[in-house]
Amino acid sequence: MKQNNSRREFFKKTLAVTAGITIVPRFVLGGPGYTAPSDQLTRAIIGVGGMGKGHINYTDARLLAVCDVDQNHLKEALDIAGSGVKGYSDFREVLNRPDIDIIHIATPPHWHGIMSVMAARAGKDVWCEKPMTRTIGEGKRVKEAIHATGRMFRLNTWFRFKDVFYGMETTVKPLKKAVANGLLGWPLTVTISGITGFNWKFYWVGKTNLQPQSIPKVLDYNMWLGPAPVKPYNQHRVHQTFRGYWDYDSGGLGDMGQHYIDPVQYILNKDDESPVKVEVDAPQQDDDAVGTWRRITYTYKDGCRIILDGENRDKDAAYIEGPKGKIYKGFRSTIPHLKEKLDLLPDPAPQIIDFRESVLTRKKFALNEDNGYRSCTIVNMGAIAVRLGRNLEFDSEKQEFIHDDEANRLINQPMRGEWKMD
Amino acid sequence: MEDGLKRKRMEGSLYKQKNNKKMIRRIKILMGVLLMVWISVPTMGQDIRTEETKVADILTQFPAESIQQTDKLMEEITGMGEEGILRFCRLIVSPGTGNDIQARYALGSLARYAGAPGNERIKGEVENAFLKSLELSSDREIKAFFIRKLGVFGGDATAEAMKEYLETKDLYSPALFALTFAGTEKAKSIILSSLPDKSADQQVETIKDLGKLEYLQAESVLISMAKDPGTNEDVKKQIYSSLAKLGMEESEATLNTAARNAGYSSDKTEAMNAYLEYARKIGEKGEKKISKSICINVLKKCTNSDQLVYRSAALEIYSQLEKRECIKLLIKEFTGNEDKSYRNAVLCISGENMTDESKESWCGIFREVSAERQQELLDFLSFYPGKEVVKKVIEPGLSSEDENVRAEAVRVLAFHEKEKAVPELIQQLRKAGGEKEYNALEKAFLNVCSEKDGKMLAGSLNLLNEKGQTIIVKVLCEKRCVKQGNVVFDYCYSDTPPLRAESYSGLSRIVESEDLGKLILLLEKTEYLKETELVEKAIIKLYTNDTPPSDGSFLKAMEVSNSKEKYIPVLPYLKDKNSISQVSHLFKEGNTKEKVASFKALTKWRDTSVLPILYDIFSDKELSEFHKEAINAFLRESGSGNIPDDEQLLWLKKIMIECQSIAEKKEVIKAAGEAKTFLSLVFVSSFFEDDELKSTVAGAVMNIVLPSVGKKDGMTGKVARELLIKAKKFVGSYSQIDIQEYLDKMIDEEGYVSIFNGNNLDGWQGLVKNPLERAKMTKEELAKEQVKADKLVPEYWSVKDGCILFNGNGWENLCTKKIYGDFEMLVDWKITKKGDSGIYLRGTPQVQIWDTSRVEVGAQVGSGGLYNNKINRSTPLVVADNPVNEWNTFRIKMKGDVVTVYLNGILVVDHVVMENYWDRNIPIFPKGPIELQSHGTNLLFRNIYVKEISEEAIGKKEKAEGFVSLFNGKNLNGWVGNKTDYSAENGMLTVHPKEGNHGNLYTEKEYSNFDFRFDFQLTKGANNGVGIHAPLKGDAAYVGKEIQILDNNASVYANLEKYQYHGSVYGVIPSKRGYLKPVGEWNSEDIIVKGDQFKVILNGEVILDGNVKESSKNGTLDHKDHPGLKRHNGHIGFLGHGSELKFKNIRIKEL
C-alpha cells in the first residue's frame, strides 16, 4: 500500500514540476534512451581537505581527478592518490571531462547545491557529503535537477542502512522493525544527544569580531567563497573551522545533524513529509558566527517528535519512546526480551546500499536526493530557527514557513556574482 | 535631566488614570498613590544611571539568553527613543578596528523587532536612526550592515534612500535586496528606473526581482529590451521569465517569437519555459483565449520525444482551462503516444480534475488498449474507488490473458477493496498461474489480511495447490493467527519442501506457551539443521514471552533426550541459574555436537558468570577453533556494564596475556578505553611503543582522559596530560582539535604519581617501630634505627616482573619514605591461600586484606574494612574480593580522618572515620607514611599510585572554571560601603559591629548572572545576608534581593517563617532548613543567579532552586513590595545586622 501512496505522491510531484515547466522525470518509469555506464566506473573528487581526503580511499570507482582551491590540499591529495590522477583548481574543468562518471563533492556545504546541480547537468552521478545543502531552497533545486537529468545521487551518510546508530549499540534495522511493527505504539519521540559521539555543540562555534588577515598565497579565497558573500579573510573562516559561520554551514548541527537525523526520519517513516513545527532554546546568535544552542524540538503533524538535546540533559539518550515503551542507550528497553521479539519480525524492505549498483542499474540509492532533501531540510529548519532565535511553523506541503517572511527568506539565500542555481 | 525623566514617568501614570473614567475617584487616588510609591522605589536605583550607562548595561546583556530576554531588551532600547537608538548605532565600527559584537547583536535584534507585526509604532523611529547612521558612515562595510538591517523592516524612507546606493558597485546588491524585500510601489519604481545602465549580471538580478514583485509597469521596458539585438542571452532568459510572471497581454508576441526562434525546443534563453509559464499565468488571469491558443500551438509543434515535456505542460494548462472537453484529448494522447513517461503525465493531468464522467471514459477504453496501457490504467484508476472501476477495469484485469495485467489487477484489487478483497483473492489464488501473479497475490494477502481472517484462510487450504498453500501458511504466520497454529504444525510434516520450509520458518510466530510439548516433539523429529534451528527459535520465543512456560518441563525433556545438542541453544534464555554449569560441563565432556552447541550457547549468555568460562576457553591452546568467538563474547559481556570498571580492567589484563593476534590486542585495548579509570589509562599506555597498536592506544587514551559527552569526568594530572599530548599525534583531525581544546582548558596539577617504579624499591624503606615511638626518638636515634630496619628489607621484600613481592616469612612492613596527609591511592594486590595483609594509612593499621576462606578469624566479611576501628564500622559493606591468586584493585581516599575504600570497583567503606590504633584517645595523625603490611604469607603488589589532595589544587581548579577572587584577604579593595564594621583579618572578612553603625558592604562592580561562592562561620544567633542585584542605597532585601544568612537553629529564631530560613530569597522563596553545620564550623555556599532563576547550594546540598518572578506572580510570601525583583543587575553585598560573623574564600564566576 505504501507503494501506491508514493505513486500518488508522484502524481502530485509531476504536476508540481510541470507547473514550473520542468521535465517529467524519465527515470521514474525507466523510459528508453539510457546507455548504462560501462562497468569500469570512474570518479573525481572536488574538495580534498579534511573530509575529501578520506574519499580518495573509497573503492567504488577508479579515481581520475581531484580538485581543490588550496594548493596544499591538492598537493597532499595527489601524493596520496598516486599516479593516473590529475589535479585541478577549477571544478568546472573536472565537470567538462567526458570520461568521468561520478563526482564526489566534499567541499564546505555552501558549494554542495551548485556543484550537485552542475554535475548532474554535465551528466555525472553525484556522491555528495553531508549536509546535502546549506539551504532548503538549494536542496529543492538539487532534487529537481537530479530528477530532470535522471542522474543518481547518494549522500555520504549511512546510518540509515549500516553502522551502529549512535549510542544505541545497534544498527537502525531492529529499531525500524520495532517501530514499524508497533512495538512502541504511536506517536513517537526520538531524543538524540551528545552520546552520538560528538557533542552537538562540539567546537563548531564561530568567533565573533574576526580580524582581517592576509590571504595565503596557496589559497584561491575568491573561489573558496564562491556563492558566499565576501568577508575579509581570517583563517578561522576556512578549512577545519568553517562550520562556525552561517555563510558556509551551521555549526555542529550542520556537521553532524544529518548523520543523526536521517536515520530517525527513516525509522519514523517520514521520508515523504517534514515537521510542521520547530522550537528552539538557544542564546541569541551572531549575524556571522554560529553559536551554541541548548535544545531543538521538531514536531510532525501526527505528533511524532525529534528532540536534539544539545546540553545532554537526558542521560539515557539516544532513545525512542512511544506510548507502549521505549528503547534507549545501549539498546536497552522497557520491553522485555526485545531482541528476541525483533528476531521474529519481518525485515524492512531492502535498499540499495552500494552506490555502484545504483549507478549501474539506475535504481535509486538508499539515501538519495529525495529522502536526503527531507532530512537536510530538518537540519536547515533547525538552523534557521536558531539563527533567528524564534520558534517556527512549517508547511510540509509547500515547504515554507508559515507567516514568517524573514524565515522564508532564509530558505533561499542570495548567491554572489556569477553563481546561481536557477 | 534626571528629575525631568522621573516627572515624565509620573505624568505618564497619571495620564493613564485620567483616561479611565469609569473608575471611582477614591480608588483612583489610592491607586495613584500606590503607583507612585511603586514606581519611585525602583526608579531611585535606575535614574541614577546616565544614558551612556544604560547603553552599556543593555549591551552587556547581549547576546541574549532567550527569546523572552531579547524582547525585554528591545523594549528597553526603544524606550530610549531615536537618540538612544543612535547611541547604539554609533558603536558599529569597520571590521578589524574594534569590538562591536554586542552592538551588532543588539541592532540585529532591533531590526527584527521593528519588522515584527504589532511593533509598527516604533518602526519609524528605528528606521530613521538606521538611515541616519547609514548616511553618516563612510565605511562600505558599515553602510552594508545598515542596508542589510534596513532590508529586514524598512519602508518608503528606506526605499528612497536606496536610490543612491543602487548606483554604486559595492552596495548595489544589498540595496536591491532591501528594496525587493520592502516591495512597496515606490520601491518597485525605483528598481525599474535603475535598470538601464547596469551591467548584464546586475540586470539579470534586477529583472528577476521585478518579476518576483510582479511589477506590471516593467512590461514595456522589458519588451523593448527583449527586442534589442544587443541584449545578451542571460538577460533575455530573465526577461522572458519575468514577463511570464507578469502575465500581461502585450507580452504574447514577444514570447511567441522567442519560442519560435528557439524552435520550440530547449535553448539557452529557456524561452519555451517562459512561453508556457506565460500561458498558465495569463490563463489564470482570465485571458483563456490567448492561453488556449498557446497550448494548441505547442501541441501542434512539439511532437519529438525531447519536446514531450512541453507537450505535457501545454496539455496540463489546457486541461485546467477546459476541464470538461479535455478528456477526449487526454484519451487521444494516452492511446496514441508511445512514450511511457508522457502517458504517465497525461494520466497525472487527468487525475487533477477527475470527474465521474472522465472516470467513466477511462474505464470505457480499458478493454481496447494494449496490455502495457492496461497496467497503467489499473494503477491510475485504483485511486478512484467505485463500482465501475471494479467491474470494467479490475475484474477484466483479473481474467486477462496477460500475467502482468493480472498481477497488477490483484495489486489494485487489494489496494481498492482492502480487507473486503480476501474472498476474491482466494478465488484468484485457486486459478492463478505464473510467478508474478503468485507474488502479487502473496503481497496482496499480506497487505489486507489480519488475524481475524485466519479461519477463512485456513478453510481454503484444501482447495489450493501446494503453491497456494505455501502462500496461505506464510500469511497465517505473518498475521500471527495462533488459533490456526495446528495447521502450521501439520504442514511441518509435509513432503513438499517449500511448503514444509514455510511452515518451519513461520512456527515461531504462531506458537503459544501451551505448545511447548508439541515443539519438543517436533524438535526430537527434525533432521535438518535449518529446521532444528527454527524449532529452537520457536521455543526461545516462548521463553522470552511475558508469560514463559516453566523451565522444568524443558529441562526434563532434555535430560532424557539422545540429542541434547538440540536443547542446548535454549538454555541461555531459561531463568534457571544452574544451567550455565550444565552447559559448561557439556562443552567439556559432551560429544562433538553438544560441544559446538554448548559453545554457541555460552557466547549468547547474558550474565557475567560466563566470563571465567569464556576466559578458560580463550586461554586454552587446544581450543583454538573457539578462540576468536570466545574473545568477542568475552569482550561484549565484560563491557556490558554489569561489572565495575576496575573489575573489568582486571579481566582485560588477564585476557590480554592470552591474546595471539594484533587484532585481538586491539580489541582489548579498545575495551579498556571504555573503562574510564586511571589504571586503564596506565594499562593501555603500556602498549604505546608497539607500532601496530599505537593508533588504537591513542584512541583509548583519548576516550579515557577526555570527558564523556555531557559529563565533567575528564581526567587531569601530569600522566594524563603527557599521554594525551602523545596520543594527539596518532588520531584524526577532528579528534586532534578535541584534544587540543581539552588540553588548553585542563588545569595544571600533579594528579596520580607512581610511588613504585616497577624495577626496584626506590622511595621505600623499612619500618621503625610505630609513629608514637618514632616521635619520641631523637633524629640520630631514628636514623640509626632506620638503617637497621632498611637492612632487613631485602630479606623479605623484592621486585619481580613489575610487582613488589613479599616472600611469605616474617612480619616486616614496607613503608614509603614520603609522608602523606590527604590523598587518594590506587593499588593492585594479590594474596595466596590463607593470605593476610593490609594497607597502613598514615602509619596506622589498616585497610584489611585477607583470604575470605579464613572463617576462623572472621575473614568471610571480605577485604577493605578498617580492621582496627572500635567505634566506627570496621567491616566492609559487602564482600567484593576476587578469588585468592587473582588480582584485586583498591581505590582508597583519605581526607581528614575520613576514609573511603572501593574494592574491585565496589564501595566497601563509605566515608568512615579511621581511628588511631596507637593511641585510642587521639584522632588519627594528620600525616604519615603509607605502608604495605606483611603477615607471614606470600603477597604481590603492583600499580601503586598516589594523588595528594591539597587546597591549592582546588583553587587552581576553580580558576580554570572561571572563578575570580573578590576578596584579597588583606584589605577591602574592590568593596564599597561600611568599611568600619567590616574588616580584613587573617585572610578572613570579619564583622565586628560597632554601635550605631550598621551599613552594608558592597562590591564595587555590578553583576547580573553569576555563581557567588564563599565560606562563612556563624556565631550563635548570627544574622546577615547576601544582597543580590542591589543598588547602593535602600534596603537591599526589597530594592534588590537578599539571600538570608542566619543561624536559624538558634532558639530566638524558633518561630521563623519559612521564607526567613537561612538561604531563602528573603520574603520570596523559602529554602530547606537543616543543612547548616554547627555554630563555629565553616560552611560553604554557592549562590547561583541566572536572570530570575536562583539556586543556593549549602555544604553540597541544594537548599533552594526557584524563580523569583514565578514565585512572586501572585504576590510575595511576606506580602510586601519587592521592587528589586525587577532588577537584573547590581551590586553584591553583605547586609550586616549587627551580628558577629566571618567570611572567607569569597569568589565569583560570571555566567
Residue B22 has pLDDT above 60, yes or no: no
Of B64, B345, B545, the CB nearest to A18: B345
Between helices B371-381 and B403-417, what is the axis angle to 10°? 10
Residue B64 has pLDDT above 60, yes or no: yes
Residue B29 has pLDDT above 50, yes or no: no
Contact: B313, A18; criterion CB under 8 Å: yes
Residue B761 has pLDDT above 90, yes or no: yes
Query: Beta strands B1101-1107 and B1010-1018: pairing type?
Result: unpaired
Residue A225 has pLDDT above 60, yes or no: yes
Which residues, 6+ apart, have CB-to-CB distance to B861 below 8 Å?
Answer: B852, B875, B876, B879
pLDDT band per the 50, 70, 90 thresholds, residue B34: very low
CB B626 within 8 A of CB B599: yes
Q: Cα(A154)–Cα(A351) distance, rounded to whole angstroms?
A: 13
Contact: A24, B100; criterion CB under 8 Å: no
Q: Is B152 in CB contact (< 8 Å) with chain A?
A: yes
Residue B1137: the pLDDT is 63
Interface probe for B, chosen from A284, A342, A419 (most Cβ of B below 10 Å), is: A284
Length of chain A: 422
Residue A336: the pLDDT is 79
Which amino acid is located at B224 in the chain? S
CB B908 within 8 A of CB B880: yes
Residue A316: the pLDDT is 72
Residue A39 has pLDDT above 60, yes or no: no
pLDDT band per the 50, 70, 90 thresholds, residue B953: low
Q: Cα(B151)–Cα(B1011) distance, rounded to whole angstroms?
A: 41
Of A286, A406, A418, the CB nearest to B63: A286
A338 → chain B, closest CA residue? B544
Q: Is A283 in CB contact (< 8 Å) with chain B?
A: yes
Residue A199: the pLDDT is 59
pLDDT band per the 50, 70, 90 thresholds, residue A194: low
Residue A164: the pLDDT is 82
CB burial string A58-75: b at 16+ within 10 A, e below: eebbebbbbbbbbeebbe
Contact: B309, A22; criterion CB under 8 Å: yes
Long-range contacts (CB closer than 8 Å, 24 or more residues apart) made by B319-328:
B319/B349, B319/B350, B319/B352, B319/B353, B320/B280, B320/B283, B320/B352, B320/B353, B321/B283, B321/B288, B321/B291, B321/B292, B321/B295, B322/B292, B323/B353, B323/B355, B324/B355, B324/B357, B326/B353, B327/B357, B327/B358, B327/B361, B328/B361
Residue B219 has pLDDT above 90, yes or no: yes
Average pLDDT over every residue of B270-281:
91
Which amino acid is located at A339 in the chain? K
Residue B120: the pLDDT is 86
Report the alpha-carbon angle B139-B142-B143, nearest 5. 85
Length of chain B: 1151
Predicted-complex ipTM score: 0.76
Contact: A312, B710; criterion CB under 8 Å: yes
Residue A196: the pLDDT is 57
Residue A228: the pLDDT is 95
Q: Cα(B4)–Cα(B461) distance, rounded to whole angstroms?
A: 98
Residues of A in contact with B541 (CB under 8 A): 340-341, 344
Interface probe for B, chosen from A3, A11, A12, A21 (most Cβ of B below 10 Å), is: A21
CB burial string A105-134: b at 16+ within 10 A, e below: bbbbbbbbbbbbbbbbebebbbbbbbbbbb
Of A29, A389, A409, the CB nearest to B67: A389
Question: Which stretch of A395-409, B42-56, B341-355 has the lowest confidence by average pLDDT?
Answer: B42-56
Residue B459: the pLDDT is 94
Residues of B in contact with A291 (CB under 8 A): 63
Residue A5: the pLDDT is 36
Question: Which stretch of A84-93, A327-336, B205-214, B865-874 has the lowest confidence by average pLDDT?
Answer: A327-336
B538 → chain A, closest CA residue? A344
From chain A residues 221-280, the ones with a CB under 8 A of any chain B CB are 231-232, 240
Q: Is A213 in CB contact (< 8 Å) with chain B?
A: no
Residue A380: the pLDDT is 97
Of B96, B351, B541, the CB nearest to A212: B96
- Decide which of B652 and B811 is more confident: B652
* B928-950 residue pLDDT tens: 999 999 888 889 999 999 999 87
A420 → chain B, closest CA residue? B205
Residue B981: the pLDDT is 84
* B507-531 residue pLDDT tens: 999 999 999 999 999 999 998 999 9
Average pLDDT over every residue of A92-104:
92
Q: At B774, which helix (H) or strand (E)?
A: helix B771-776
Residues of A in contact with B234 (CB under 8 A): none
Main-chain dihedrals φ then ψ at residue B214, nearest 5 degrees: 50, 55
A341 → chain B, closest CA residue? B541
Residues of A in contact with B109 (CB under 8 A): 284, 389
Q: How high does pLDDT run on average in chain B? A: 88
Burial category of B4 from C-beta neighbours within 10 Å (exposed 0-12, middle 13-18, buried 19 and up): exposed
Q: Is A8 in CB contact (< 8 Å) with chain B?
A: yes
Residue B553 has pLDDT above 70, yes or no: yes
* B75-131 residue pLDDT tens: 999 999 999 999 999 999 987 788 888 899 999 999 989 988 888 889 999 999 999
Average pLDDT over every residue of B322-331:
88
Residues of B in contact with A210 (CB under 8 A): 95
Residues of A in contact with B309 (CB under 8 A): 18, 21-24
Question: Which stretch of A180-189, A313-322, B243-252 has the lowest confidence by average pLDDT?
Answer: A313-322
Of A291, A313, A406, the CB nearest to B112: A406
* B789-838 residue pLDDT tens: 999 899 889 999 999 999 877 778 999 999 999 999 999 999 999 999 99
Our CA-based measurement puts residue A188 at a distance from the nearest CA of chain B, in whole angstroms, of 23
Within a 13 Å sphere around the CA of B76, how many CA atoms are in the beta-carbon half? 23
Residue with cell 537548599: B1103
Q: Other CB atoms closer than 10 Å to residue A92's CB: what's the count?
A: 12
Q: Is B474 in CB contact (< 8 Å) with chain A?
A: no
pLDDT band per the 50, 70, 90 thresholds, residue A82: confident
Q: Is A198 in CB contact (< 8 Å) with chain B?
A: yes
pLDDT band per the 50, 70, 90 thresholds, residue B199: confident
Residues of B in contact with A313 (CB under 8 A): 710
- For residue B343, give the C-alpha cell: 502517458
Our CA-based measurement puts residue A323 at a distance from the nearest CA of chain B, in whole angstroms, of 18
Residue B294 has pLDDT above 90, yes or no: yes
Average pLDDT over every residue of B334-355:
85
Of A7, A23, A231, the CB nearest to B379: A7
Residue B2: the pLDDT is 40
pLDDT band per the 50, 70, 90 thresholds, residue B993: confident
Residue B684: the pLDDT is 96
Which residues, 6+ apart, have CB-to-CB distance to B422 below 8 Å?
Answer: B445, B448, B449, B453, B456, B457
* B686-745 residue pLDDT tens: 999 999 999 999 999 999 999 875 567 889 999 999 999 999 988 876 678 778 878 887
pLDDT band per the 50, 70, 90 thresholds, residue B43: very low
Residue B710: the pLDDT is 54
* DSSP bridge pairs for A408: none
* B556-584 residue pLDDT tens: 999 999 999 999 999 998 888 788 999 99
Residue A55 has pLDDT above 70, yes or no: yes
Average pLDDT over every residue of B286-308:
91
Residue B1115: the pLDDT is 84
Our CA-based measurement puts residue B135 at a distance from the nearest CA of chain A, in whole angstroms, of 22
Contact: B349, A341; criterion CB under 8 Å: no
Q: Which of A338, A336, A337, A318 has its CA nearest to residue A328?
A: A318
Residue B467: the pLDDT is 94
Instruction: Decide: pTM greater than 0.80.
Output: no
Residue B179: the pLDDT is 92
Residue A250 has pLDDT above 90, yes or no: yes
Contact: A15, B109; criterion CB under 8 Å: no
* A263-301 residue pLDDT tens: 999 999 999 999 999 999 988 899 899 988 889 999 999
CB B404 within 8 A of CB B375: yes
Residue A128: the pLDDT is 97
Contact: A28, B509; criterion CB under 8 Å: no
What is the percentage of chain A residues whose pLDDT exceeds 70? 88
Average pLDDT over every residue of B1108-1116:
86
Residue B608 has pLDDT above 90, yes or no: no
